Structure 1
Amino acid sequence: MLPERLLIGQPIRSLQTMLREISFVYTDLPRLIPDGVFEEETRRAVVSFQQLFNLPATGTVDNDTWDAVVVVYRQTLKVTSRPGPCAVYPANTYTVEPGDSTIHMYVIQSMFKSLSHVLDGIRVPVVDGRHTGVSVENALWLQRRGGLEETGIFDMRTWDLLARLYCTYITRNPKVH
């Protein structure tokens, strides 16, 4: 059991955070808002967890309960964690000039292709690794909308705009498939 002096603070917030994450997989558990205070809602979540995992349903967090929460939390993260980010753009000084062919354009063109379904003004590019035609037009469109100099050159600032649009309209939008 947690001592009385620990009923407020980071250990409680950690417990609540783990129980909250677990509740995304085990939906019978109450979904807590971690606030660092062990009150009735947290006690109910602990009792539910203990019942679900065949522990004595006391509502107190002894070593066995804490250890079980940690184990289930780590298992849950394997299901609920988002994939790690991938650094796609090679370097701050890297550029792709109109007419260049590079493997990095495949990613850029694919992102533009996805965005063309949700944003007016972006044309559907051919994904061929060449920065020509529609790819250059899309870079110019992006630079114009972002207040950048319209060069058609894909540089770090243009990449940043594309990445932010992609995250906003594609990655973070569950309605887009």
Structure 2
Amino acid sequence: MKRVFNFLAMFRRERQPGDLVFAVAFFVIALAAAAVLPQEASFTAGKQLVAQPGFWPAVGVAMMVLFGLAHLVSTVNAPRLPGRLKEVMAWGRSLEFVAWFVAYVTVMPVVGYLPATLILSVTLGIRLGYRSPRAIFASAGFAVAVVLVFRAGLGVRIPAGDLYDLLPPAIRSFAIMNL
């Protein structure tokens, strides 16, 4: 019996819902990284190849492109399963928390570290379904504890918010140093 080699059969595997979306997105990101690599990683004259500053980033990006392409080929070759939209929507729901963090980082320079942390903690707690007064106070207490740990305990210096400029001078200096 003669066996015929089929290149695509070598990449056949079981596919999960959303695999195609992930494979295409990963491959596009890998190609984008490869496109900007010459501007981001440098190669200097007179050094060995492995001692070049851009060598290992180039190896990493090349592996991303190679394995991203292999994953894309194997995904395209696999039978389609239902549920792609449901899977992608589940991924999309997690992006909500990225938006919460971006909003927190955007609001912090305006209102300050303590008020921004309080706002984030309480509103995120309410968003997650913790609406009782006890849960809201626990969220606020958590925010205060986080600020105390980072500012007083670890000595992390975060720039004061623009809102602090409106405070009286004595309270303003205390707020800048501790809140």
Q: Which has the higher helix share?
A: 2
TM-score by length of 1: 0.29
TM-score by length of 2: 0.29
Higher relative contact order, chain-length normalized (CA < 8 Å, sep 6+): 2
